[in-house]
Chains A and B, each alone.
Chain A
Amino acid sequence: MNDFFTLFNVELLHSTIRLSTPITLAAVGATICERAGIVNIAMEGLMLIGAFTAVFFAYITGNPWIGLLAAVIAGGIFSLLHAYATITLHLDHVVSGAVLNILALGLTNYLLILAFGHPGTSEPVPVSLAEYQFAVPFLSQIPVIGPVFFNQRPIVYMSFLLIIFFTLFLYRTKTGLHVRASGEHPLAMETIGVSVYRIRYLAVIISGLTSGLAGAFLSIENSNVFTSGMTGGRGFIALAANISGGWSAVGSFLASLFFGFAEAFQYKMQAARLLDLPSELFVMFPYIATVIAVAGLVRKSRPPKAVGLDFRIEKQAD
């Protein structure tokens, strides 16, 4: 039993933060997107595109920062498909998202073979972002909090900054207010001369950028290769984090920490071999956590009123 408690140490918390990062990034993107009224279930695919692009560019240039930048841009471009389908073509949001997920899986598998000559896994990148792990002066000296939060790798720090940025964006800026209003009552926005289409395009692209970054984390920060389907459902977990976080940036972050913890704990339990249980059982942890969180928390928060609804000014007759 004593062994069990030794599991709960600073290291566990450190990996909680680390492992929650991709979920946080995708979730906060989903928050912006859904706040503007567009349901986005394509984060899984967006992350995959980001992960592959990051490895590809980091591999050919030898510079992981270029990989990172390319991943973000690729995520943004791929998300345009979702924006075009749902906003301009008025397709169903879930259908479009599902199609993009499948497309992204196929596309990355294909490009993987094209670029590296074999399926499954890419060549490792020469330099990964893991090598840029650094401790923030002063802040990392704080007991517990210091080593947990402030001795991390670059994308983890970026996710902290983005949470603050998007919270300010949503609640303090004009565009943020327009995003929130567009997801509640788009027609009202049009009647005061604000283009809902523009706002929604912006919001979808934001979710593409953050998901792309999340993908880069998976492939060139937390690892150094791209593996086929390496997102492993994190895009969907991010969706759940956004929902159970009550469609807010900070809420998404906290919910993602919960999922990150489930994953970190799972690795620990596997490694510790405390209980003589098959490891598959532990692998289920994050997914079970998702089910519990969504089932338990979702009912308390209210989704944006117009989320998922098609919007046109001159509707067909009702």
Chain B
Amino acid sequence: MEREKRKDGICLRMENISKQFPKVLANENISIYLKRGEILALLGENGAGKSTLMNILYGLYRPTCGQIYINNHEATLLSPKDAISLGLGMVHQHFMLIENLTVTENIVLGMEPGSWGFIDFKKARKIVKELSEQYHLFVDPDAKIEGLSVGQQQRVEILKALYRKATILILDEPTAVLTPQEVDGLFVVMRSLQERKVSIIIITHKLEEVKAISGRVYILRRGKLAGERVTKDISKAELAHLMVGRDVVLTLNKENRITEKKPGFTLQNLFVKNDNGVTALNNLSLEVCPGEIVGIAGVAGNGQKELEEVLIGIRRIEKGNILLTGKNISRYGVKKRIQSGLSYVPSDRYRYGLFLSMKVSENILASSLDRKPYVNGINLRLRVINRRSEELVTMYGIKTPSVHEPVSNLSGGNQQKVILAREFSREPVVLVVSQPTRGLDVGAIEFIHSEILKMRDRDTAVLLISMELEEIFALSDRILVLYEGSIVKEFDPGKTSHKEVGYYMTGGGER
């Protein structure tokens, strides 16, 4: 029996793994195996339990029950240290890099060369250089992490695992932050690692990627294993069905219905600085007409955050103007902008979008609570507030025990719906939406997209900022590419490709 397994080349088995978190059962009785030198995909919606399962494998979480066998020996993984010594390496969804340290320091961290407790920096640098040449993963060993692009940071993460002699590499949603070009680059790296007999588990929720890179796939749904398939034997539609548990519409039904150009929302030659006083928006101009969705595509860190903040009114404009139906609102504060007809869905819903410990009703009407009919003098009219909140909760299908529930107890999708309900129900003239579906599951994404399209159909001018090209393509009537704080290119989504937009997102237009 043992002999047979080894012949199969199975290097890893997880058996009957369950993980109970205080509130959720994140993994329920999951068994998987991995063959030496294969690329295995782990597919599932957000919250399906993929990261949890892999964090258990990596020794970061303890399983509630279940066993793990590595090279046919039962492994007790008390900490990542144990996992690393057994040849496991993991690139986490959120990078585990220390931003103000150099590439070299990050790679050798915890296993630094040197004696007497001192670090031999020269030797460390040399090791990193050799390693990066050996695997064709080029990075500047002396650069600080904070100055690197996400693609480069990912390379550092992979090198970190290879430095620790990983033979099983786990990649948690490695493509979520990459441009299409960088994804291609990553796949090349993965295949060359495969040739060197590194076994790879790649986590993703994107169907194309499963098809493009993996040999075999496990599908996780709500903490349970929903299936195992050989990739070439299964279609995308079937994968989607297994992943979500029902049929999904993969393309939205939208038609461009804008006929005449009326002024809606105009940004004129905006100059804005970031927190460090460096120019973040550099002479940025754009226009969004009523009944139109304009998508801002770009790699994170090219001014999206500053653009969002300057539109909301929480960042200073150095130069330039913001016009709302012809009226200059550049000097307005947040409240006055809202009153002039601006609504926004912030990218960071915990920092700017919600009062987490407060009730659903208080959140859903937060921006109207200073106004009739919700106040009477200094008195909040609770009955009116509750009635209106209940209306909105029903309208937007928010799953909550009651409107008195603290928002922090809602799931991510429902929290986002609370924001949508508040912002959309104000009947805005202009809607700024930033990263509206980040971290949400397919059901919530569908709903939010259709609500955004409904707003457009009600003649709202919609500015969509998103790092997800899929989303930009699915919703936008026009695509503008943001690169280093300026709009470098405009596209008609029907007449371009992900690749072409991706090219401009990485500064390709300048070459």
Contacts and interface: CB of A to CB of B under 8 A. Distances in A.
Interface of A: 172-175, 177-178, 180-181, 184-185, 187-195, 305, 313-314, 316-317
Nearest to A169: B117
Given A184-B98, A185-B98, A188-B97, A174 B84 contact: no
Given A192-B160, A193-B110, A180 B61 contact: no
A47 to B, nearest CB: 29
A290 B97 CA distance: 35
Interface string B111-141: 1101001110000000000000000000000
A317 B96 contact: no
A317 B23 contact: yes
A172 B119 contact: yes
Given A184-B98, A190-B80, A314-B21, A177 B109 contact: yes
Contacts of B83: 193
A195 B80 CA distance: 10
B314 to A, nearest CB: 19
B449 interface: no
B99 A184 contact: yes
Contact of B119 (A173, A181, A191, A305): A173
B110 A192 contact: yes
Contacts, number: 76
Given A314-B61, A316-B22, A181 B101 contact: yes
B99 A190 contact: no
Given A191-B60, A317-B23, A185 B90 contact: no
Interface string B68-86: 0000000000011111100
Contact of A191 (B90, B105, B118): B90
Contacts of A194: 81, 109-110
B410 to A, nearest CB: 12
Nearest to B85: A193
B475 to A, nearest CB: 28
3 closest Cβ pairs, A-B complex: A193-B81, A188-B96, A192-B110
- Main secondary structure on chain A at its contact with chain B? helix
Given A172-B118, A173-B119, 16 more contacts: A173-B118, A174-B112, A174-B114, A177-B119, A180-B98, A181-B98, A185-B96, A189-B109, A190-B79, A190-B80, A191-B96, A192-B96, A193-B79, A193-B83, A316-B22, A317-B23
Nearest to A188: B96
B58 interface: yes
Given A190-B79, A191-B60, A317 B22 contact: yes
Contact of B98 (A174, A188, A316, A317): A188
Nearest to A172: B118
Contact of B117 (A175, A190, A191): A175
Contacts of A173: 117-119
Contacts of B81: 193-194
Contacts of A188: 96-98, 109
A222 B210 CA distance: 71
A313 B60 contact: yes
B278 interface: no
Nearest to A173: B117
Given A177-B112, A193-B110, A187 B119 contact: no
Interface in B283-337: none
Contact of A190 (B60, B100, B101, B164): B60
Interface of B: 21-24, 58, 60-61, 79-84, 90, 92, 96-101, 105, 109-112, 114, 117-119, 160, 164
A180 B106 CA distance: 12
A193 B114 CA distance: 18
Nearest to A171: B119
Contacts of B110: 178, 189, 192-194
Contacts of A174: 112, 114, 117-119
Nearest to B160: A192
A180 B100 CA distance: 10
B107 to A, nearest CB: 10
Contacts of B23: 317
A185 B96 CA distance: 7
Contacts of A184: 98-101
B117 to A, nearest CB: 5
B198 to A, nearest CB: 18
Nearest to A168: B118
Q: Which of A172, A185, A194 has the most CB of B within 10 A?
A: A185
Contacts of A313: 60-61
Contacts of A178: 109-110
Contacts of B58: 191
Contacts of B105: 177
Contacts of B80: 190-193
A317 B356 CA distance: 13
Contacts of B24: 317
A172 B60 CA distance: 29
A192 B111 CA distance: 9
Contact of B96 (A172, A187, A195, A305): A187
A181 B109 contact: yes
Nearest to A192: B110
Of residues B24, B58, B79, B164, which shows the largest number of chain A Cβ atoms within 10 Å of its Cβ? B79
A184 B101 CA distance: 10
A188 B80 CA distance: 11
Contacts of B100: 184
Nearest to B24: A317
A147 to B, nearest CB: 35
Contacts of A177: 101, 105, 109, 112, 119
Contacts of A192: 80, 84, 96, 109-111, 160, 164
A223 B97 CA distance: 48
B350 to A, nearest CB: 8
Nearest to A194: B110
23 contacts: A172-B119, A173-B117, A175-B117, A177-B112, A184-B99, A184-B100, A185-B97, A185-B98, A187-B96, A188-B109, A189-B109, A189-B110, A190-B60, A190-B79, A190-B80, A192-B84, A192-B164, A193-B79, A193-B110, A317-B21, A317-B22, A317-B23, A317-B24
